[in-house]
Structure 1
Amino acid sequence: MGAIRKGKYSKLGCMECKRRKIKCDESKPVCWHCDRLSKTCVYPARQQKRDLPNVDLAKSLEELLMDQIGDFQETPASSSLEIPELAITPRIGKFDIGQFSLDTESRKYLQLFYDEFTQVIFPFNVREENVIREVILNHAINGGYLLSAVLACGALRSYHKSSSEADEKSYVGYLSKCMKLLSNRISKGLGDELESMILTTLLITSYNASSNVVKWRPHLEAAGRMLMNENIAGEVYSICRCWFISIEILAGLSSKIGGTISNEEWKIMEGWIEDTSQMENLGLIWKNAWNGPVFNLMYGYTNKLGVVLGRLCLLLKETRQNGCGCVSIGEIGWLMEMLDSEDIKSFKIWDGSGYLRKIDGIVPAELLESVEEFDDLGDEGGPLWASWWDISYQSHRIVGIIQVLTELMQLPREHLLNPSKQGETPSWLTADIEV
């Protein structure tokens, strides 16, 4: 008997079949699988995207960024900033910041970026090298807009510590230079600098979301548009997609106007979440020995919870735009069922046994020493250790539940604060959070 050939995935199939990794029969308007399973069948506009020249995408991105340029005034700091340009091919690996030729002040900002960037963007990193930091610096060595963004982040970090007017001017100056260089480059087409452009927009979005100097939403939207390019692949894009999703979900849960993506785009992103082939090698995910859900170190929760929170963000956005009542009871029921399901509710990294090593992360290791000063921490009198991974995971899960109750179901605050008035306390509200 001849070898059985494995069926190939359809390149023109619907997004639901792509997400489920099954072959689509491409029937329209609804394919056979979606009709059988009562799924929403959506076909991507592939031909339109294939015919879209880079210059058109560049034009739309430029329009998103142009309104930012007017927010900056040309300052002595920005007019005198010189960004060196070196012809070095970007790579992923440990980076030596001595490769940069910078003046003393700029080198100070670069060092701050290098030393403290982990705590801002990738606090759950478990490796000696921070892969995101290394990728950014390996691309920034060529100078231009990405290096300007890096130095702006370092200057902002310095300003937060010193409140120095000089640091503030340097921050605004570097950021202004970055915006202008990026806008000029985009106006010429994306070319072969797509990786650097995406890294720059994500960096600006992440580090400046709490700043009043620059609006972060246009940059997040621009990064999303670039990442939707179906022809890109590789480790850097896997990192960027993971980074983008973490910001998008955070925006969807916390911002009054929600995230930036559509329902169709989220279906594509669910495929990004489920594809962990490169994430493990890059140190972006953690797998338990018992093959439980995959914990994503960029998100701060599991990939499975990420899919649920992403769908919640879409419904929150729809509710904010169209008012209460536009979301069906079935959709709300599915969310609550998933958030209260055993594998999501009971997931934990640490079971309370063994030894946890102190590492610098969300809370620096030296601050954890103060915990040992208490007398009644553990049951046996020893120091109490907290798993920040588990705290982050359960915090996101509980935020999801609260958003369903308060935003989608419009329950009053007193319902949450005094659930006994409503009868028996639901299990999801009293579930123990083990850390």
Structure 2
Amino acid sequence: MSAFGSLPISTPQPAQSAADQKKHKRTRSGCFTCRSRRVKCDEARPICERCRKGKRECVYPPPPSQKSGSRTAARSTSQGDSSDNNEGDDASGLETIQDEEGSEQGAHASSTTNATKHRPAVSKTRSAQSTAKRKTKQTPDNSSLSKEKSISPFTDAATRSESYSPASNTPSVGFEPLSGQGMSNTPGTAQLPEDIRFFLDYHQREITHHHYILKSRSEEFIHRAIVDLCLKYEPLLYAVVGFSAYHYCLRQPGGKLYNFLRYYNKSLTLLRKSLASTEPHSEATLITILLLTTFEEFTGDWVNLVDHHQAAHTLILELLTPETANENELHRHIFVWYARFDLVAGLLAGNETILSREWYTSREEYDAKEAAEDPSDVQKQLSLFNSRNRRFAMDMASLYAKLSRGMIPMDQFIVQNEQLSLAMENLRSLLAQFDASEHTVTSYPHKVPLTENDIVDPYTPGRFFQGPLWEVNFAWIDFLATSLMFKYQSSLVLRQESSSELQSSALEQCRLIETIERWPEKENGTVISFHSSLGLASMFIPKDARHTMWIRRKLAHAEQNGYIYPPKFRTSMSQIWGIPEVKHWWLPNDEGYSDIVREIRKMTEERTTNPRDNFREDVREMKTLFGKMNVDDSPS
């Protein structure tokens, strides 16, 4: 899995030494656990040596049937693939690994240079419309996908009802097809394997814009545009299925890593082949990379997220311009998705965004024009707020990065920082226009009595909205988080005492989050939308037992729903709170600490041990948040 960063179009790496380029024997038959960790497996059965020593679950892929094996061999022969180029066709879908000792940490970019240098030096841009005209052999109905054996989420067809045991290598639980409307009547899905159809159904029924950490206007993009594209582009299909399987497995008692890793590794294998071929790049290619980047964030792997972010940057420059990024709905959603990673990575590492400022200002100008033409359209007003909030975050990241590098004198910094402060107030006014709305909630019929464990009153009348203004609640949380980050940064640089103001802002975020969580009509995955706000608030709320336990339960709830916080964040919070056990799990006595979350955390910690440059290390260490803070000078 750590090879997720090894996309052929990512930033070129320094030339490798002869020793680094030495070919190694590869193996296809190692256990799922070793292959996901990209380490050598001795293939001992029923438990390999590495899993035995690490006390990990050891599961091998089921042996392919003779018929399936014949199909694979025939396909390999007819296409003239070498064994190295046919990695995606093995039974598991997981990538092969280097068969050598000392590869515990894996290699990130061994294939980057070779795959890039064979690419013709011509533009390979393809629009969404031309993507639909992809050659017939590349569509799922006629590709290797429909020819392979159908494997259900937890079992293959022959062993679905059997229970798992290490000796038999038979997974534990089957699944029941989802009832009601789903993908069953969608053109192009009839020939898909049963497990693929199951997870596409699950994606359409259960996954919301919150799971993608996007806004409500993205629902059509998520459930129609992405799915339409994935039925024409296999790397995206497996990425969507893997993302759906990830969330599904988290809700199942028997969920295991390999239940979703097989699809992600298949997506990556197919994506690498696509990028290394002469096949034109398209919006589907870029969306595939963005979805894999989202997975890296969800698993807490910010080191490998940087690799995908850089690959996405290369493609967005190839496919779009600041002007064409606004020309249709698909491009607008792609830009917003990419920009979020651009901003978060820059802010965490104390760097500027990679994408230039004109991209952000161009989108802001577009949204400002749309909002001015229709002042009564709430969604257009919120789009303008979101654009200005993004541009503010970009300007903030740029200003503080320049200061940290000595590129701007302190007097100029103070002037520009004051301008940011005024921009922050303008942002507030965009949301304050809704305060007197008829959709403001004044009473809560579903009110539940508060207990001594509650730290806020989620039933406070005013500044909470329903109906057409529901999304305004999330915009306020975003604003408070941006404001909190800005004021925290300013207080550190200018040495100002602001602990009371920061605490008040953090508690207001907590109130809104709790009110939404208790609202009966909230969408699936809302807690995921709060991940950054909860992370920031946890640093500034009072550090007594009642407040810390409240926020610890929220952070645990986010991880149980699939958003895994990075190891650095847990370590820093354990120091700020003076609670060492938080490094292990948020709640005492492993309450709510599921096996699947435990395994995801372990995988991430192993993958992010040795970041290969300072930028990746700064992102991993969350330099902006914790680089200048210790237990003694943290806000009280």
What is the TM-score when the length of structure 1 is the normalising length? 0.61
What is the match of residue 395 of structure 1?
477
What is the match of residue 85 of structure 1?
140
1:197 corresponds, among 254, 270, 285, to 285
CA distance change for structure 1 residues 316 and 104 in 2, over 3 Å: closer, same or farther?
farther
How far apart are the structure 2 equivalents of 1:292 and 1:107?
Answer: 33
CA distance change for structure 1 residues 303 and 156 in 2, over 3 Å: closer, same or farther?
same
Letter of the structure 1 residue corresponding to residue 365 of structure 2: E
Work out whether 1:270 is the aligned partner of 2:281. Answer: no
SS of 2:216's equivalent?
Answer: coil
Letter of the structure 2 residue corresponding to residue 211 of structure 1: T
Letter of the structure 1 residue corresponding to residue 422 of structure 2: E
1:209 corresponds, among 268, 290, 297, to 297
1:111 corresponds, among 201, 215, 225, to 201
- Map Cα deviations across residues 257-294 of structure 1 (whole Å, 9 max, x no partner): 556515xx2323321342349999xxxx9964189983
CA distance change for structure 1 residues 373 and 267 in 2, over 3 Å: closer, same or farther?
same
SS of 2:336's equivalent?
Answer: helix
| C-alpha displacement of 1:388 | 4.9
1:159 corresponds, among 224, 230, 249, to 249
Q: Check the 8 A contact 2:367/2:383 in 1, yes or no.
A: no
| 1:283-432 matched pairs, under 5 angstroms | 288-289=375-376, 294-296=381-383, 301-319=385-403, 328-341=413-426, 344-345=428-429, 347-348=431-432, 350-355=434-439, 371-373=446-448, 377=459, 385=465, 388-410=470-492, 415-418=497-500
How far apart are the structure 2 equivalents of 1:336 and 1:170?
Answer: 47
- Map Cα deviations across residues 25-72 of structure 1 (whole Å, 9 max, x no partner): xxxxxxxxxxxxxxxxxxxxxxxxxxxxxxxxx9543858xxxx9955
- Map Cα deviations across residues 351-395 of structure 1 (whole Å, 9 max, x no partner): 3543479xxxxxxxxxx9984445994769xxx756553333233
| C-alpha displacement of 1:181 | 1.2
Q: Check the 8 A contact 1:112/1:157 in 2, yes or no.
A: no
- Map Cα deviations across residues 208-261 of structure 1 (whole Å, 9 max, x no partner): 3121578222112211221123666453222211221233234444x2455651
Q: Check the 8 A contact 2:350/2:401 in 1, yes or no.
A: yes
Work out whether 1:170 is the aligned partner of 2:255. Answer: no
How far apart are the structure 2 equivalents of 1:304 and 1:170?
Answer: 40
Letter of the structure 1 residue corresponding to residue 276 of structure 2: S
Q: Check the 8 A contact 1:256/1:320 in 2, yes or no.
A: no
What is the match of residue 10 of structure 2?
61
SS of 1:105's equivalent?
Answer: helix
Q: Check the 8 A contact 2:343/2:394 in 1, yes or no.
A: yes
Letter of the structure 1 residue corresponding to residue 227 of structure 2: L
How far apart are the structure 1 equivalents of 2:425 and 2:373?
Answer: 22
- Map Cα deviations across residues 321-376 of structure 1 (whole Å, 9 max, x no partner): 669977722221111111123x643524643543479xxxxxxxxxx998444599
What is the match of residue 335 of structure 2?
241
| C-alpha displacement of 1:139 | 0.7
Q: Check the 8 A contact 1:220/1:260 in 2, yes or no.
A: no
Q: Check the 8 A contact 2:360/2:387 in 1, yes or no.
A: no
Letter of the structure 2 residue corresponding to residue 272 of structure 1: R
Q: Check the 8 A contact 2:352/2:394 in 1, yes or no.
A: no
What is the match of residue 518 of structure 2?
none
Letter of the structure 1 residue corresponding to residue 282 of structure 2: L
Q: Percent identity?
A: 13
Q: Is the radius of gyration larger for structure 1 or structure 2?
A: 2
Work out whether 1:219 is the aligned partner of 2:308. Answer: yes
What is the TM-score when the length of structure 2 is the normalising length? 0.44
Which structure 2 residue ranges, 5 or more long, are not aligned? 1-6, 14-34, 42-59, 63-87, 94-137, 144-181, 451-456, 513-636
Which structure 1 residue ranges, 5 or more long, are not aligned? 1-57, 89-94, 358-367, 421-427
| Stretch of structure 1 that moved more, 194-203 or 393-402 | 393-402
- Map Cα deviations across residues 153-181 of structure 1 (whole Å, 9 max, x no partner): 01100121125344x21311111111111
Letter of the structure 2 residue corresponding to residue 329 of structure 1: I
